[in-house]
Amino acid sequence: MAGVFLGMFLSFLSGIFNFASSAPIVLRYSTHLPARNPITVAQVEGLNLIEKKTNGAVKFEKFYDGTLIGVRDCWEELLKGTADLVSVSAQTSPGEKLMPLYIMINNAWIGLKDMHVQLRIQKQLLKEFPEMAQEWSAVKPLSFHGIPDVNFHTKKQIRTLADFKGLQVRGIGSWPKHTVEKLGASLVAMPVTELYLALQKGIIDGVMLDNTVLSGFRLAEVTRYTMYMGGVFPGINQRMCMNVNTWKKLAPEIQKVFEETGEWIDNFYIEKIYESLSESLAFAKEKRHEFISLPPQELAKLHDLLREEAFGEAKKLDAKGLPATKIFNRVQELIRQAR
């Protein structure tokens, strides 16, 4: 895979155009994330490639950690032009009110194979359903960033769904509240930064997050088990977007460079995430962390509960005249086809 990706990189650089400009176009890039975050790393690598591919005709001023625009102001400030490029967190800003369909499918990725398949399906959905694409029409999206499949990392072992009874678990926001409650557990809201101490002190029994937290937040030190959920992915919420007026001012050949680079960033990011997952699993094994797979029938029941909860949210949007269940069913169909 590394050799193939290197080939893509060299092929990308070989397409450098001979741009001539008396003064470079300087664009502002803003992210609420730290410079070392994998999303930021991928986006900045992409911006560096744009500078190379345009022979310096385009340059970037970079602002990290929300120093220019905070996470809750991403959308409004991008529309205002405070920055030309912004790493947008759809879940937070613009949020569910402006992107009900895009955010609705966050909980529809059940039984998925991997992040590459999710990315392909996500792009296909935006082509098939203009209602979804319309939610992004005020900006020019350039890249997609999701997170790996989530699993339950717990202090107590979960070998059957009955083992959830009485547990206090932290999920992804308010999801999957109904599923957790039907299993006899309780969903607890808590910032990621507080999870280590909460697990250490026994305030909570487990968390539902991707496996990178085992090393990234050192949760393998305060949990003993990871129960695999069989390919349950959160949505692709982070996207690097450009102010639409900035986009319109760029020459067509420069627009082409940005679009090609967006595709490159998508794949570069996923490769980096899978590298992080490998490192995290190695760290967890050093801590004698145990990984558990549910029996097939139990896993199928868990997936049915998750789909039922997600489908219920989709039906609420149907009542508002949106094709939510149609989109949800299409996601599930495409996932089945990809297996």
Q: What is the reported pLDDT for 178? A: 95
pLDDT per position as a tens digit, 261-280 = 999 999 999 999 999 999 99
Instruction: Give yes or no for residue 2 having a pLDDT over 80.
Output: no
Question: pTM to 2 decimals?
Answer: 0.88
Q: Which of 238, 239, 241, 205 is nearest to 223 (CA)?
A: 205
pLDDT, the chain, mean:
93
Instruction: Give yes or no for residue 5 having a pLDDT over 80.
Output: no
Does 150-234+288-338 match 2-147+235-277 at the fold level?
yes
Q: Which of 325, 295, 319 is nearest to 104 (CA)?
A: 325
Q: How far apart are CA 203 and CA 188, in angstroms?
A: 10
Segment 56-85 mean pLDDT: 97
Segment 135-142 mean pLDDT: 97
What 174-182 contacts at long range (C-beta under 8 Å, 24+ apart), as own/partner pairs, is: 175/106, 175/107, 175/309, 176/107, 176/208, 176/305, 176/306, 176/309, 177/309, 178/305, 178/308, 178/309, 178/312, 179/302, 179/305, 179/306, 179/308, 179/309, 182/305
CA atoms lying within 13 Å on the CB side of residue 82: 18
Band (257; pLDDT cuts 50, 70, 90): very high
The amino acid that residue 266 corresponds to is D
Q: How far apart are CA 175 and CA 108, in angstroms?
A: 11
Q: What is the reported pLDDT for 339? A: 82
Q: Which of 175, 176, 150, 165 is nearest to 205 (CA)?
A: 165
In the chain, the percentage of residues whose pLDDT exceeds 90 is 91
Instruction: Give yes or no for residue 19 having a pLDDT over 80.
Output: no
Q: What is the reported pLDDT for 1? A: 52
Report which of residues 237 and 173 the model is more confident about.
237
**What is the dotted CATH code of the domain comprising 2-147+235-277?**
3.40.190.170
Instruction: Give yes or no for residue 16 having a pLDDT over 80.
Output: no
Report which of residues 339 and 240 the model is more confident about.
240
Band (3; pLDDT cuts 50, 70, 90): low
Report which of residues 279 and 14 the model is more confident about.
279
pLDDT per position as a tens digit, 189-203 = 999 899 999 999 999
Q: What is the reported pLDDT for 13? A: 47
Structural domain spans, the chain: 2-147+235-277, 150-234+288-338
Q: What is the reported pLDDT for 174? A: 86
User: Is there a contact between 63 and 83 (Cβ–Cβ < 8 Å)?
Assistant: yes
Q: What is the reported pLDDT for 14? A: 47
User: Is there a contact between 83 and 91 (Cβ–Cβ < 8 Å)?
Assistant: no
Q: Give the β-pairing of 150-154 and 25-30.
A: unpaired
pLDDT per position as a tens digit, 296-328 = 999 999 999 999 999 999 999 999 999 999 999
**What is the dotted CATH code of the domain comprising 150-234+288-338?**
3.40.190.170
Of 13-17, 255-259, 318-322, the least confident: 13-17
Instruction: Give yes or no for residue 249 having a pLDDT over 50.
Output: yes
Nearby residues of 166 by Cβ (< 8 Å), 6 or more positions away: 184, 185
Band (25; pLDDT cuts 50, 70, 90): very high
